[in-house]
Amino acid sequence: MNCLFCFGLGYTARALARSLRAEQWSVAGTSRDGAAACDPTIPFDGRQALPRDALDNVTHILVSIPPDEDGDPVLKYCSAELIARGRRLAWVGYLSTTGVYGDHGGGWVDEDTPRAPLSDRARRRVAAEDGWLALQRDHGVPVHVFRLAGIYGPGRNQAEAVLDGSAKRIIKQNQVFSRIHVDDIVGVLRASMARPDPGRIYNVADDEPAPPQDVVAFAANLLGRPVPPEVAFEEAELSPMARSFYNESKRVSNRRIKQELGCELRYPTYREGLTALRPT
């Protein structure tokens, strides 16, 4: 039986787990306190190794735990176990971010674009990518890296923000973001599992990078709600993390997932994605 083990049962990992369980896969994983929508779930707070038998019978691994100031906790505490099992694993996926590219003034980036991270958070991602790819290069662990654009989906989207009154139309000249529906991330991961190419890196983004204010306006019109007024970026009340996202503007190419994995996006733009998420 195919068995997926998720380091970190977050939003995307849970979506993948649901998809695979529907096809009789065995799924297990970790959470900080051992409580998550998965059985078995193993506590893992990034400060100790897993139990010795945690990866027994595992065929596929997904890593969605972000690195912290001390580095990637899975690499730090579980590398030896992964190396020991590496050639018996069919697939390992590491979820990274398009933030590793930094700012490109609205220009296009692809997987061959040099990484130029601007924040400490993105620099930690670069180091983690390098560590995971070294496991593939030096030890034969079948690692694949997925650089995810902004994730949205059920319970996490601009339609929800419009409904709860938190949506803002923040205007910054030439600002564009790429995004991806969680169901399409699942589709890409599953396509890679079916066609593994260890060491390969994939951008995971939809077809239409867009200014964030356009997405909010579309969501409001879709719901028949007033479009929130424009707010200049310089005047917007944003958390430090939210403000940091506006330091980067780029368009992320998804050509590789289409050409090499044969992916057809279910939601090629935010319009299809938000329309499908519209409350009934």
Task: Answer whether residue 35 shows pLDDT above 70.
Answer: no
Q: Are 76 and 221 in contact (CB under 8 A)?
A: no
Task: Give per-residue pLDDT as tens, 234-245.
Answer: 999 888 888 888
Of 1, 4, 151, which Cα lies nearest the Cα of 63? 4
3-state secondary structure at position 17: helix
Q: How many residues does the chain have?
A: 280
Could you give the CA distance from residue 237 to residue 235 in angstroms, rounded to a whole number? 7
Task: Give per-residue pLDDT as tens, 100-121.
Answer: 999 999 999 999 999 999 999 9
Q: Are strands 150-152 and 230-232 parallel, antiparallel or unpaired?
A: unpaired
Q: What is the pTM for the complete model shown?
A: 0.96
* Among 69-73, 148-152, 236-240, the least confident range: 236-240
Domains (ranges, CATH) in the chain? 3-152+179-206 (3.40.50.720)
Could you give the CA distance from residue 15 to residue 18 in angstroms, rounded to a whole number? 5
For residue 247, report the phi and psi dihedrals to the nearest 5 degrees: -75, -10
Q: Sign of torsion, CA 19 23 25 27?
A: positive
Strands annotated E in 233-279: 251-252
Percentages helix, strand, coil for the chain, rounded to the nearest 5? 40, 20, 40
Task: Answer whether residue 269 shows pLDDT above 70.
Answer: yes
β-sheet bridge partners, residue 203: 147
Task: Answer whether residue 25 shows pLDDT above 60.
Answer: yes
